[in-house]
C-alpha cells in the first residue's frame, strides 16, 4: 500500500528509530543472558511501532511517561542508547545514576519523565504534568503510555476522569499487547475494544493497528493536534503483540503457537522496512546503510556504557530529599 504523503525524512526517521529499538532490545537480551544486567528486564520486541509512531508526532518540548516496558519509549523520545545501557548495567553514567534501573528510566532533558512501573500509576501523574502546561498557558502536551493490563486499575479511571473533566492536554496511549503476563485481555474485561472504557469518561478515542508505524503516526498526529488545540485528552489504543515473554525468565509458552506465528508475520519492523523501500523513501542500499549505522551506534553505546564505573556507594544516600 503506497503512501507518499508523509515526508520522507519522517518515514526514514521512523524506520531508523524502530531498527534502533529492535537492535537495542536484542542486545539487552544477549547481555542479560551473559550476566551484564542485574535485576529484571521487560523487552518491547514487536511493539516498536507504538512508541516510534507516537513520539514522531510529538514536539521536543512535549513529555512522555514510559511504562515498565519502557526502553523503546525512552529511545524513541531521544534518550541516548549509551545512557540507557549504562542504567541497565547499573553504572554511574546511567540516565538515573544507577538508582532507577530498567523499571524507572527517565531523562527530563529529553522530556522523558521518570517511569513508575506500577501499572496504571502514571495516568493521573500525566494529567498533573498536563495541568501544569495548561496552567502556564504552554502549548505542550504529555503523552502517557500504559499497557492493556492498566485498563482495570483504579488510577487509570481516576486519572482519565480528571483529565477529561479539566480538559487537560494529555495523549493517553494504550499499548494493547493483549496479555498481562499470561492473562489474555478478554479474560479480564468484557468491554472491547478497550478504548470504550475511556470513551465512558468523555474522551475521544481511536483504535489502530499498533504494528503499523505509519498508522500509529497518522493517528497520533491527528490526536496530538486536537490535544494541543485545547480539546482535552485523547485516548489512542494501539493493538500490538509482545514477541517474547513478559520478562527475562518467561518463554511466553502460554500463548497458542498459531497466534504467536500469526503476530510474528505482522512484525512491525519488516513491514516498515518494506514500505520505506516500496514507497521509494530509501533504496535497499540506503536501508542497509541505515542498519549498519544502527549496529555501529549500538556497539559504541555498549562500549561507552561498559566503560562507566558502578556508582559510588556513598551516593546511595543522596537525592532522597529535594
**Residue 104 or 247 having the CB closest to another protein:** 104
**Residue 100 or 210 having the CB closest to another protein:** 100
Angle, helices 8-33 vs 213-226, to 10°: value is 110
The CA–CA distances, whole Å, from 305 to 40, 55, 106, 215, 302 equal 18, 25, 16, 34, 5
CA atoms in the 13 A half-sphere facing the CB of 215: 16
Residue 203 in contact with another protein, rule: CB under 8 A: no
**Residue 165 or 307 having the CB closest to another protein:** 165
d(CA 88, CA 68): 13
d(CA 183, CA 220): 28
Nearest distance, CB of residue 311 and another protein, angstroms: 9
Residue 307 in contact with another protein, rule: CB under 8 A: no
- Of residues 108, 181, 264, 288, which one binds another protein by CB under 8 A? 108
Q: Which stretch binds another protein (CB under 8 A): 29-37, 90-98, 222-230, 239-247?
A: 90-98
**Residue 99 or 228 having the CB closest to another protein:** 99
Instruction: Give the pairing type, strands 205-209 and 183-184.
Output: unpaired
Site string for another protein, 232-271 (x = CB under 8 A): ----------------------------------------
- Of residues 66, 100, 232, 233, which one binds another protein by CB under 8 A? 100
d(CA 255, CA 204): 32
Q: Which residues have CB under 8 Å from 67's CB, separation 6+?
A: 73, 115, 117, 119, 122, 145, 146, 147, 175
Residue 89 in contact with another protein, rule: CB under 8 A: no
Nearest distance, CB of residue 26 and another protein, angstroms: 26
d(CA 120, CA 144): 10
- Of residues 70, 94, 169, 268, which one binds another protein by CB under 8 A? 94
Instruction: Give the pairing type, strands 179-180 and 183-184.
Output: antiparallel
Q: Which stretch binds another protein (CB under 8 A): 16-24, 71-79, 88-96, 248-256?
A: 88-96
Nearest distance, CB of residue 149 and another protein, angstroms: 15
Please choose, from the candidates 128, 222, 112, 200, the residue with its C-alpha nearest in 3D space to the C-alpha of residue 170.
Answer: 128
b/e map 90-116, b = 16+ CB within 10 Å = bbebbbbbbbbbbbbbbbeebbbbbbb
> Which grid coordinates are listed for 152?
482495570
d(CA 171, CA 232): 9
Residue 66 in contact with another protein, rule: CB under 8 A: no
Nearest distance, CB of residue 158 and another protein, angstroms: 3
Site string for another protein, 153-172 (x = CB under 8 A): -xx--xx-xx--xx------
Cβ–Cβ under 8 Å, residues 194 and 237: yes
Nearest distance, CB of residue 306 and another protein, angstroms: 19
Q: Report 121-150 residues binding another protein (CB under 8 A).
A: 121, 123-133, 135, 142
Q: Which residues bind to another protein, rule: CB under 8 A? A: 94-100, 104, 106-108, 113-114, 116, 118, 121, 123-133, 135, 142, 154-155, 158-159, 161-162, 165-166, 318-322
Amino acid at each position: 500500500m503506497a503512501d507518499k504523503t508523509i515526508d520522507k525524512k519522517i518515514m526514514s526517521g521512523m524506520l531508523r528509530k524502530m531498527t534502533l529499538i529492535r537492535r537495542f532490545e536484542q542486545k539487552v537480551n544477549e547481555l542479560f543472558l551473559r550476566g551484564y544486567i542485574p535485576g529484571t528486564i521487560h523487552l518491547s520486541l514487536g511493539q516498536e511501532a507504538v512508541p516510534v509512531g507516537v513520539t514522531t508526532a510529538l514536539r521536543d518540548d512535549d513529555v512522555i511517561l514510559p511504562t515498565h516496558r519502557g526502553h523503546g519509549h525512552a529511545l524513541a523520545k531521544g534518550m541516548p542508547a549509551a545512557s540507557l545501557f549504562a542504567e541497565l548495567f547499573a553504572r554511574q553514567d546511567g540516565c538515573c545514576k544507577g538508582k532507577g534501573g530498567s523499571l524507572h528510566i527517565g531523562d527530563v532533558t529529553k522530556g522523558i519523565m521518570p517511569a513508575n512501573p506500577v501499572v496504571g500509576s502514571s495516568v493521573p501523574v500525566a494529567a498533573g504534568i498536563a495541568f501544569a502546561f495548561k496552567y502556564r498557558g504552554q502549548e505542550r502536551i504529555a503523552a502517557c503510555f500504559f499497557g492493556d493490563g492498566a485498563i482495570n486499575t483504579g488510577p487509570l479511571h481516576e486519572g482519565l476522569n480528571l483529565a477529561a473533566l479539566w480538559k487537560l492536554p494529555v495523549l493517553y496511549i494504550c499499548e494493547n499487547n493483549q496479555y498481562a503476563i499470561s492473562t489474555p485481555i478478554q479474560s479480564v474485561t468484557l468491554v472491547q475494544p478497550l478504548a470504550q472504557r475511556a470513551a465512558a469518561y468523555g474522551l475521544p478515542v481511536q483504535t489502530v493497528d499498533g504494528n503499523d508505524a505509519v498508522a500509529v503516526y497518522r493517528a497520533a498526529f491527528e490526536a496530538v493536534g486536537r490535544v494541543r488545540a485545547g480539546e482535552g485528552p485523547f485516548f489512542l489504543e494501539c493493538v500490538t503483540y509482545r514477541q517474547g515473554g513478559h520478562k527475562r525468565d518467561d518463554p511466553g509458552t502460554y500463548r497458542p503457537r498459531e497466534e504467536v506465528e500469526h503476530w510474528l508475520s505482522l512484525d512491525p519492523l519488516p513491514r516498515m522496512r518494506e514500505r520505506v523501500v516500496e514507497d521509494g523513501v530509501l533504496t535497499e542500499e540506503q536501508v542497509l546503510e541505515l542498519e549498519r549505522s544502527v549496529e555501529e551506534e549500538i556497539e559504541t553505546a555498549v562500549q561507552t556504557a561498559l566503560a562507566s564505573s558502578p556508582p559510588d556507594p556513598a551516593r546511595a544516600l543522596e537525592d532522597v530529599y529535594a
